[in-house]
Amino acid sequence: MKLRAAFALSGLLLLSHATFAGPYTDDLSKCLVASTTPTDRVALARWIFFAFSAHPSVASYSAVKASDIESANVEIGALFMKLLTNSCREKTKAALRYEGPAAIQLSFQTLGQVAGMELASNPAVQAKMAGFAKQIDEAKIKELATEPAAPNATGGEPK
């Protein structure tokens, strides 16, 4: 059962990619998360959902209206400005000065991940995300832990 829960929650990791932040970006990320309410984070997750729903591969499954997207843009634009220029002003200035504009992108990526977890913590969402776990052969996954790992492409041992 623990393995199935791990698979269900792994969907949240799709929002991230491997990038390492410096200490000022970390400080800004912490400030953004601490300065938002659960309502703010759900609004951010909704905005992300609306944006993703525009992708041609999934657009036919969504009934998001242009007016909903515009309202979300206004709401999230105001939230971003409040966070950067008021709530986290000093952290933003330091991150920009010492780590550049990527600090803002990385910090909001962190906030987006937290927003996704806000939605994922809902039992109805967890039940939907766990639905695919019925298709997982746990015994085959557990076998992987006992098999020796193949050397990496350069011929050395895996890291």
Looking at the chain, the whole-number percentage of residues with pLDDT higher than 90 is 64
Q: Which residue has the tokens 């390492």?
A: 20
**Structural contact between residues 97 and 105, judged by C-beta atoms closer than 8 angstroms:** no
- Going by C-beta distance under 8 Å and a sequence separation of 6 or more, which residues neighbour residue 112? 15, 44, 45, 48
pLDDT of residue 130: 87
pLDDT-based confidence at residue 154 (cuts at 50, 70, 90): low
Can you tell me the mean pLDDT for 25-45?
96
Enter the pTM of the model.
Answer: 0.74
Is the per-residue pLDDT at 106 higher than 70? Answer: yes
pLDDT of residue 17: 46
Indicate the SS3 state at residue 147. Answer: coil
The three-point CA angle 150-151-155 to 5° equals 155
Q: What is the residue type of 17?
A: H
Domain boundaries, the chain: 19-121
Alpha-helical (H) ranges within the chain are: 2-10, 23-34, 38-52, 66-82, 89-99, 102-120, 123-129, 138-146
Mean pLDDT lowest among 7-11, 56-60, 105-109? 7-11
Greater model confidence, 41 or 9? 41
Range 115-118 contact pairs with CB under 8 angstroms and sequence separation of 24 or more: 115/41, 115/42, 115/44, 115/45, 115/48, 116/12, 116/15, 116/45, 116/48, 117/12, 118/38, 118/41, 118/42, 118/45
